[in-house]
Amino acid sequence: MKKVLGYTNAWSVTPGETIRVMVSTYGPERYRADLVRVICGDDEPDRDIYREEEIEAPFSGEYPGRTQPIGAGSYAVVPDSPSLAGLESFTVQAWVWPTTPGKGEQGLITRWRDDPAGGFALLIDDSGALAMRVGDGRGGVVEIGTGEPLAARRWYLVSGSYDAAAKELSVRQDPIMSPLESLKAADATREVELSAIADVGAPLMFAAFPATLSTGKAAAQRHYNGKIDRPRLIGRALSAAEGLAVAWDAMPHERNTQVVAAWDFSRDIGGDAISDSGPNGLHGRTVNVPSRGCKGHNWSGAEQNWRHLPQEYGAIHFHDDDLYDAGWEADFEYAVPNDLRSGVYAVRLRADDDEWYVTFFVRPPRGTTTSKLAFLASTATYMAYANYHWMMHERYCEATESFWTTLDKGDVFLQEHNEFGLSTYDTHSDGSGVRYASRLRPVLNMAPKTPLWSFNPDTHILGWLEEKGIEYDVITDEDLHHEGVGLLDSYRAVLTGTHPEYYTTPMLDGLRAYLARRGRLIYLGGNGFIWRCAFSPEMPGMLELRRAEDGIRYRDEEPGEYYLEFTGEFGGLWRRLGMAPQALVGVGTVAVGFDVSGYYRRQEASFDPRAGFIFEGIGADEAIGDFGILGGGASGSEIDAVNPMLGTPSHALVVASSEGHSANTYLVPDETGFHHCAMDGAQNPDIRADMTFFETPGGGAVFSVGSIAWGASLPHNGFDNNVARISENVVRRFLDDTPFPMPG
């Protein structure tokens, strides 16, 4: 069992900066913290390649342990105000699209205190029906429900009102009628025997009830799953007809002077603000990044882009398992010294018989480089995969992986701690796809000694660089996103990890500009440069992804919601956006398969003098990479090939191609518009990785292996093998200042 975990406020750190380290223990009363440099994180004992280097640090030592809670689940909150405190008779209403109405009590619009119970709450009750609850703050509680369960994924106008003069409490749910089905409207009214509804002095909350964490921090509970659109608060008990008139009015406060608040969630899309368009300015904030830019109750289908018709995208989709910032208190800080070399580092935490590595990346001092080579850590991809539960959420997992599902300690921990949040490979508890992933929480698969996917196999490449004495700086996707080509320009060559899958537009622009000048890119991975993602400009460390239309994906994106809220850009595959990876690195994904990896054979073009440096020391007929840690070969997991139609440069040399792919290696959906009986690696010659080289007009060059498994072949035979040799040949030539001439 995991007994200690932690995270830092930043993944990329510059010497001179200070990072905060947040730690939580699960059982142990003490833990020890030390600094290590991560060299190779693969700790399989048979391979004997694990390497870390302990570094002296002022924080090294023993610390008291404590369990720090996480309040997951999104909601929105409006601070208390005199306009809320002064309410006597009132109506609350909203358009809602519940996704789990049968999941138990869920707060829709609440201004409530549990103990002693007081305030009001419009909610979904245990029967799945709409209900309104009021309390006098002295233990007296009255509730009325419609008794008619709400249907999932259907729009309703819901309202609750209190008439102080008549002492009546009413609740009402009106479905938006479909021509194809008959959902029931329902309402109920009852007398309220309480002397008054308590003014609990609490904030107003959407999509949850208030709660307090064990640390005393305000949080939420009894979360609502689903959408809320145009919630309103009116200072009078409205009749059904009056309620409808207000609800369908985009600017109700202009026609009804008793409107206290008319929230408009179509404003502020992409951020955490919510705005009240009414007269009292009851603005608020969302917590834990619910999804925005979502179709509202009035969506007509006339537009797919929320920016073009925001008034039809006024819904926020809340989930009870959303998470942005775990919000732990820092245990200690670390001022990164100016002379700490650039690299991958971790705070090693040890408690009882357990340990954890809080991993971060130290780049060179800003504006400088300390090596000619930069390793570009795929932190956007690490984030997209953060804390994935895919093997538990995806029912075809074993069929696609060709393996029995196995769970390590971290996976088991996540099953028991849903509050650590999800990855963009998962589904929310309401079945909708996860669009956001944060690094402000412990990420149980971004550390050494974790399974060989995403982060940890990239350390095979670091281990190889160290073994060969090749100096490198470490920079990250987030740095590239913020600084663009300026980050890369001073490097003679840039080296990717095994799987640089997720790219923001500024990241892609930065790489393209680097190559357009004189840059040299060594792509030692597969399935790279595939999906457009976005970083939030307002919420640091938050990534957004909408898996529109195509590609290997684990769920369908909600139709009509393909545009990213952080940037307004159309989401999906870069290939579908007209910027296929082939137009950047020569190759792009064609197939995936996880049981058996293949190996490369030299092609005719490898004997072209332009490619001579690549194959120094390599025989003409050698199988290249018929060994390796992932599937026993260098070409596997996810593999890429050339395609001139998608932009492979006309002078690119395919110097080697792979063979030996199994019947469990399949074409990716983006490659096939029609299923047929020859979609697997045993039958289809298009299923291959193309090792590709081309020069650029600025004297630069690109070398691509197009395989995730390549890096895992580097350590074979003490890093002495033809995969390692080819990689070293390429790196050494790419670091040589001599320009690459374009072929005549």
With residue 477 as reference, give the H or E element that holds it.
helix 477-483
The nearer residue to Fe ion, 388 or 627, going by C-beta atoms, is: 388
Residue 378 CB, nearest distance to Fe ion (Å)? 10
Q: Name 119's Cβ contacts closer than 8 Å, sequence gap at least 6.
A: 110, 111, 112, 113, 134, 135, 137, 197, 198, 199, 200, 202
Tokens of residue 662, six digits: 């199994």
The nearer residue to Fe ion, 11 or 531, going by C-beta atoms, is: 531
Single out the segment in contact with Fe ion by CB under 5 A; choices: 14-22, 349-357, 495-503, 532-540: 495-503
Residue 537 CB, nearest distance to Fe ion (Å)? 25
The nearer residue to Fe ion, 272 or 501, going by C-beta atoms, is: 501
- Give the angle 7-11-16 at the CA atoms, nearest 5°: 110
The nearer residue to Fe ion, 552 or 663, going by C-beta atoms, is: 552
The nearer residue to Fe ion, 326 or 380, going by C-beta atoms, is: 380
Q: Name 345's Cβ contacts closer than 8 Å, sequence gap at least 6.
A: 35, 36, 37, 38, 55, 359, 360, 361, 362
How many Cβ atoms from other residues are within 10 Å of residue 322's Cβ?
27
Residue 282 CB, nearest distance to Fe ion (Å)? 43
Residue 494 CB, nearest distance to Fe ion (Å)? 20
Distance from chain centroid for Cα 230 = 27
Coil/strand/helix, residue 553:
coil
The nearer residue to Fe ion, 325 or 638, going by C-beta atoms, is: 638
Coil/strand/helix, residue 565:
coil
Distance between CA 67 and CA 75 in Å, rounded? 24
Residue 694 CB, nearest distance to Fe ion (Å)? 25
Phi–psi pair at 506, nearest 5 degrees: -60, -35
Single out the segment in contact with Fe ion by CB under 5 A; choices: 415-423, 482-490, 501-509, 730-738: 501-509
* Amino acid, single-letter form, for residue 251: M
Tokens of residue 82, six digits: 């005199």
Coil/strand/helix, residue 65:
coil
Residue 248 CB, nearest distance to Fe ion (Å)? 44
Distance between CA 500 and CA 521 in Å, rounded? 13
Residue 552 CB, nearest distance to Fe ion (Å)? 8
Distance between CA 501 and CA 181 in Å, rounded? 43
Single out the segment in contact with Fe ion by CB under 5 A; choices: 82-90, 330-338, 497-505, 599-607: 497-505
The nearer residue to Fe ion, 8 or 504, going by C-beta atoms, is: 504
Distance between CA 532 and CA 505 in Å, rounded? 7
The nearer residue to Fe ion, 342 or 589, going by C-beta atoms, is: 589
**Residue of 573, 358, 355, 352 whose CA lies nearest to 447:** 358
The nearer residue to Fe ion, 270 or 500, going by C-beta atoms, is: 500
Residue 457 CB, nearest distance to Fe ion (Å)? 12
Distance between CA 341 and CA 344 in Å, rounded? 10
Coil/strand/helix, residue 373:
strand
The nearer residue to Fe ion, 276 or 501, going by C-beta atoms, is: 501
Could you say whether residue 125 binds Fe ion (CB under 5 A)? no
* Amino acid, single-letter form, for residue 550: D
Distance between CA 144 and CA 130 in Å, rounded? 9
Single out the segment in contact with Fe ion by CB under 5 A; choices: 217-225, 275-283, 300-308, 493-501: 493-501
Residue 644 CB, nearest distance to Fe ion (Å)? 25
Would you say 600 and 330 are in contact if contact means Cβ atoms under 8 Å apart?
no
Would you say 206 and 226 are in contact if contact means Cβ atoms under 8 Å apart?
no
The nearer residue to Fe ion, 198 or 667, going by C-beta atoms, is: 667
The nearer residue to Fe ion, 52 or 501, going by C-beta atoms, is: 501
Distance between CA 14 and CA 473 in Å, rounded? 12
The nearer residue to Fe ion, 664 or 722, going by C-beta atoms, is: 664
Tokens of residue 280, six digits: 């009292």
Residue 685 CB, nearest distance to Fe ion (Å)? 24
Q: Where are the alpha helices (DSSP H) in 555-708?
A: 582-585
Residue 213 CB, nearest distance to Fe ion (Å)? 34
Residue 533 CB, nearest distance to Fe ion (Å)? 12
Single out the segment in contact with Fe ion by CB under 5 A; choices: 17-25, 332-340, 474-482, 499-507: 499-507
Q: Write the DSSP assignment of 128-190 as a string of letters.
A: SEEEEEEEESSS-EEEEEEEEEPPTT--EEEEEEEETTTTEEEEEEEEPP-SS--PPPEEEEE
Assess whether the previous peptide bond of 231 is cis (omega < 30° from 0). no
**CB-count burial class (<10 Å; 0-12, 13-18, 19+) for 392:** middle
Could you say whether residue 401 binds Fe ion (CB under 5 A)? no
The nearer residue to Fe ion, 501 or 565, going by C-beta atoms, is: 501
- One symbol per residue from 540 to 579: x for binding Fe ion (CB under 5 A), - otherwise; what is it? ----------------------------------------
Residue labelled with tokens 């393996």: 403
**Residue of 703, 702, 658 whose CA lies nearest to 681:** 658
What letters, b where the CB count within 10 A reaches 16 and e where it falls short, cover 539-563? bebbbbbbbbbebbbbbebbebbbb
End-to-end CA distance of the chain: 62
- Give the angle 60-64-68 at the CA atoms, nearest 5°: 110
The nearer residue to Fe ion, 200 or 444, going by C-beta atoms, is: 444
* Amino acid, single-letter form, for residue 60: S
The nearer residue to Fe ion, 501 or 671, going by C-beta atoms, is: 501
Residues in contact with Fe ion, counted by CB under 5 A, come to a total of 1
Residue 526 CB, nearest distance to Fe ion (Å)? 9
Nearest residue to Fe ion, using CB? 501
The nearer residue to Fe ion, 401 or 501, going by C-beta atoms, is: 501
Q: Write the DSSP assignment of 511-538 as a string of letters.
A: HHHHHHHT-EEEE--SS-S-EE-EE-SS
Residue 453 CB, nearest distance to Fe ion (Å)? 8
With residue 84 as reference, give the H or E element that holds it.
helix 82-85
* Amino acid, single-letter form, for residue 495: L
Distance between CA 481 and CA 567 in Å, rounded? 13
Residue 530 CB, nearest distance to Fe ion (Å)? 7
How many Cβ atoms from other residues are within 10 Å of residue 58's Cβ?
11
Could you say whether residue 501 binds Fe ion (CB under 5 A)? yes
Single out the segment in contact with Fe ion by CB under 5 A; choices: 60-68, 494-502, 541-549, 598-606: 494-502
Distance between CA 108 and CA 100 in Å, rounded? 13
Residue 499 CB, nearest distance to Fe ion (Å)? 6
Single out the segment in contact with Fe ion by CB under 5 A; choices: 236-244, 496-504, 667-675, 696-704: 496-504
The nearer residue to Fe ion, 411 or 501, going by C-beta atoms, is: 501
Residue 527 CB, nearest distance to Fe ion (Å)? 5
Residue 501 CB, nearest distance to Fe ion (Å)? 4
Single out the segment in contact with Fe ion by CB under 5 A; choices: 143-151, 277-285, 500-508, 599-607: 500-508
* Amino acid, single-letter form, for residue 574: W
Q: Where do contacts with Fe ion occur on this chain (CB under 5 A)?
A: 501
